[in-house]
Amino acid sequence: MKPRLLMIAYACDPQGGGEHWLGWGWAEQAAKSFEVELVTTPKAKAAIEAASQPIGIKPHFVEVPNLLRRLTELCGGGWLRKLAWQKRVGSLAHSLHGQNPFALVHQTTFHTFRSPFSASALPVPSIWGPIAGGESVPPGFHQYLGAARFAEQTRALANRAWLNLPSVQRSLRQASALFVSNRITLDFLPSEVHSKCQVVPPNALRPEDESWEPRSAPRRTENTPLLLLYVGNCVATRALPIVFEALQQSGPSDIQLSIVGSGPAIPAWQQLASKMGLQPRVKFVGRVPFDQINTFYSEADALVFPALRDSGGSAVLEAMARYLPVFCLDWGGPGEMLDAESGLKIPVRSPRETVAAFGNALNRFRKDPQLGPKLAAAARRRAESHFRWEAKRMLLDSTFDRLRRK
């Protein structure tokens, strides 16, 4: 008989994207080893019920009172609604455990320490995560944020205050094991919980990611430009001006950059690219439907992802799965996803040193025709070994076994 698992996923949708898809993925994988009862919101109730029945998951849908929902929507207090939801989940968890005890409880989404783990109080082993949220822009790099600098500084202060909430502190203490998205968040958490932390990047491969075959031959020849690609939200913390400066300093004019995505940073980036004389080399494509993005991955030579604050980076994993080399900063989630063999990780010391290192990496990549295919193959291997759902299921199983033996 399978052990009973209570899984909590605020964001959960078999047909959704991002955290909602990941929240469902953890439950789906757990059902292979556990008898799963899933607690979530009714937002995707029909899809969850349809997907749960064939694999034996028993869902429970928890909602906050309508009056509280309306009030928090009016005042922008979404996190207050999540705290109220967690309180209700804690009550339900104790009731369900009293009726038929669980062997393990695991809270997966939202992937943040700011959504407390109320069910960690159950008298059984508990796993929280992958949690993120402690990421911050490295010292000295706020110059790349422009008008978003104040908001980023406010966020950092709010994070410190949120970490000290009694419900968050209690969740950290009570959880038996913590899956943490990256080392920046790990360093942010209290040192007394570090011994029960394990770094677990939240991203996972989709079926369409796994279907890609390696290129039969490099796209680029000696006489064609090096095509760089950025895919994602265009917000200040993605810091594409670092790439602009690296392009300007690296010298060669046969390096081009396509920016696929939209967001509030676009006007400032366009103005800066024009001011730096990079407009012919930097193309702002705009938002592209997801089913058309693969064309850009196929045509590019490498992905650039210079995020100054990011817990993961779905485009990084998409590129890895598609045999596309990745340039990223060795900071936060993206730096965790790659190792030295599978990507070009740019050290984060000072803006001047980082830009110079980025430019040197671009020139090295441009001059060495063997480097791209080597990185691409290693990135695909790492994607397969670390980011398949099977790897996450095995991690959950082994963690449960370890906690049960304590």
Is residue 148 one of the residues assigned to a domain?
no
Kindly report the CA angle at 75 between 70 and 80, in degrees rounded to 5? 75
Is residue 144 one of the residues assigned to a domain?
no
Closest to 64 measured CA to CA, from 55, 73, 51: 73
Q: Tokens 């010298």 map to which residue?
A: 251
Q: Does residue 267 have a cis bond before it (omega within 30 degrees)? A: no
Residue type present at position 27 = A
Closest to 18 measured CA to CA, from 328, 290, 299: 290
Residues 177 and 213 in one domain: no
Q: How far is CA 132 from CA 54, 129, 178, 318, in A?
A: 32, 8, 11, 20
Q: Give one DSSP letter per residue of 218-280, joined into a string.
A: -S--TTS-EEEEEES---GGG-THHHHHHHHHH--S-EEEEEE---TTHHHHHHHHHHTT-TT
Helix ranges, 251-331 (H): 266-275, 290-299, 314-321
Residues 174 and 257 in one domain: no
Is residue 259 one of the residues assigned to a domain?
yes
**Number of domains, the chain:** 2
Residues 258 and 319 in one domain: yes
| pLDDT for position 105 | 98
Residues 309 and 343 in one domain: yes
Q: Give one DSSP letter per residue of 326-361, joined into a string.
A: EEEESSHHHHHH--TTTSEEEP-S-HHHHHHHHHHH
Residues 177 and 293 in one domain: no
Is residue 374 one of the residues assigned to a domain?
yes
**Which domain, by its residues, includes 28?**
4-132+164-202+388-405
| pLDDT for position 225 | 85
Is residue 396 one of the residues assigned to a domain?
yes
**CATH number of the domain within which 262 lies:** 3.40.50.2000
Residues 225 and 371 in one domain: yes
Is residue 156 one of the residues assigned to a domain?
no
Structure-block tokens of residue 202: 């939240």
Is residue 149 one of the residues assigned to a domain?
no
Distance CA 168, CA 118 (A): 9
DSSP state of 265: T
Residues 222 and 197 in one domain: no
Instruction: Yes or no: say if 81 and 89 are a contact pair by the CB < 8 Å rule.
Output: no
Residues 357 and 393 in one domain: no
Provide the terminal-to-terminal Cα distance of the chain, rounded to the nearest Å: 21
Residues 113 and 14 in one domain: yes
For residue 72, the Cα-to-chain-centroid distance in whole angstroms is 26
Distance CA 267, CA 168 (A): 38
Is residue 137 one of the residues assigned to a domain?
no
| pLDDT for position 71 | 66
Instruction: Yes or no: say if 155 and 242 are a contact pair by the CB < 8 Å rule.
Output: no
Q: Give one DSSP letter per residue of 60-106, joined into a string.
A: EE----HHHHHHHHHHT-HHHHHHHHHHHHHHHHHHHHHHS--SEEE
Residues 125 and 271 in one domain: no
Instruction: Yes or no: say if 115 and 175 are a contact pair by the CB < 8 Å rule.
Output: no
Residues 82 and 39 in one domain: yes
Residues 219 and 259 in one domain: yes
Structure-block tokens of residue 186: 């790990």
Kindly report the CA angle at 271 between 265 and 276, in degrees rounded to 5? 120
Q: Mind listing the pLDDT tens digit of every residue in the chain (406 residues)?
A: 899 999 999 999 999 988 999 999 999 999 999 999 999 999 999 999 999 999 999 999 999 777 666 666 666 566 777 888 999 999 999 999 999 999 999 999 989 999 999 999 999 999 999 999 999 999 999 999 998 999 999 999 999 999 999 999 999 999 999 999 999 999 999 999 999 999 999 999 998 898 888 877 666 666 678 999 999 999 999 999 999 999 998 876 789 999 999 999 999 999 999 999 998 899 999 999 988 999 999 999 999 999 999 988 899 999 999 999 999 999 999 999 999 999 999 999 999 999 999 999 999 998 888 899 999 999 999 999 999 999 999 999 999 999 988 7
Total number of residues shown for the chain: 406
Structure-block tokens of residue 13: 């949708």
Q: What is the pTM of this model?
A: 0.92
